[in-house]
Chains A and B, each alone.
Chain A
């Protein structure tokens, strides 16, 4: 992990308020792994003060891609970056997805902006495994399919794909999917991950989930991002250091 000031190549608006930031950052591009993240200082001033954590969305040669939606002051500033603007990146941080392993099909489960880490995941996995993506959102406006593969969609209001949440969608397909050796990789809101965790326990499925959490430093000193551990109930794990990717059964979401 280190700090680098890297030039913005392009800001791409995918759809309503959802953006991709393409940054020239060869040092990071060469070492970052899927599921790891960067803590980004959006400007030099004291407002906003803290860095913002973003999973790496994709890597293409010397370029890294970050996906975000406009949520507050920080992301508004990011959306207004121009080619050549320098952006202050701290990383790579955290523990990413364990792509290797004894399975044939990676089941990707993403809620809303939870698709963010998966384009890079899909790129890294190449043709070594099959991919099936389940993507959910409140409405069709929240569905992002950027660089995703073999997609099935659900929306809460039924405006796109199957009506319902993405975990229900997965459950409808689970018996069929279980005929192969599968591993689930998930990212999304905690409410989704909570339901997914129950499903994984019920069906005895192997699942790694990337967990979102407010944090200040991103490298373990502020202790601002605790998560309850199943195996060590008398102490918290830190999302930034022990995660953000966890075996979904090991943590209380």
Chain B
């Protein structure tokens, strides 16, 4: 608890208003399911936690250490597949599967790191993509283990018991909400701990200038691998969590390139190399992609009266806007990258700084 307070205090400055706000948000998040029963609202929140975990995890290697991995689907998939395969074929409960997933992701990260970290800049990016693609193709073809393109479907999650007491039976979304919330808070806490330790300084030194860092006694291979390992652990956790929550995985949904890109975007949109950047990124991207997918935007345009539902434009919007969600999403991402090079968080900081001066 002391650590939580310290976390809120240092990241928001020492202002008591900010501290109070932080505590209020935290309490609000824990009480949220008591007030909101709508499964859809809970679903959005769970997706938000999932994106936060992914974003914070990537932030360690990409944001702090400056190694832009576009192959994080490898660790996401490693976590998801390990958990699901163990549950499906060995009836091992997912919490043990999560731990096993972390182990596998660690091994994968060390292998990937020892190969890819010999490369720098764009070559590292390409190598990271290649390794994730190898994982996807392997999952596609190792049919005995992964069920190939058919994927793995689970219909029942074993009841979570401590001793004889049933903690939860996973029949509603509420337990998932709390698991997601706790893991998300954990990743933020770990990021905070990294930032305020020797590791954080060394990671950032490597990001700013590898040769200078090397000359100051920093072993590039060791510290890059540590950063990747931390990142892989949490990405794998998010993969396990996703798999249990959705109940179905196949190579395109957990190992594809767009998962990797999505993870990177959370950070770039929010602001890389900061504790709250990925949270902001998730806060922007999750509702945005949901709104676009569910035709919410067309509905909003009709409500403002700009055009009616029956007019030609209205029919066009209703028919096509939902299908164009990827396009609109892409355009928005480009706009953010062009006009907010430090992400939404950086943009907000710049605005408030200007106001402070004016």
Partners in one complex: no
Q: Which residues of B contact A (CB under 8 A)?
A: none
Q: Which residues of A contact B (CB under 8 A)?
A: none
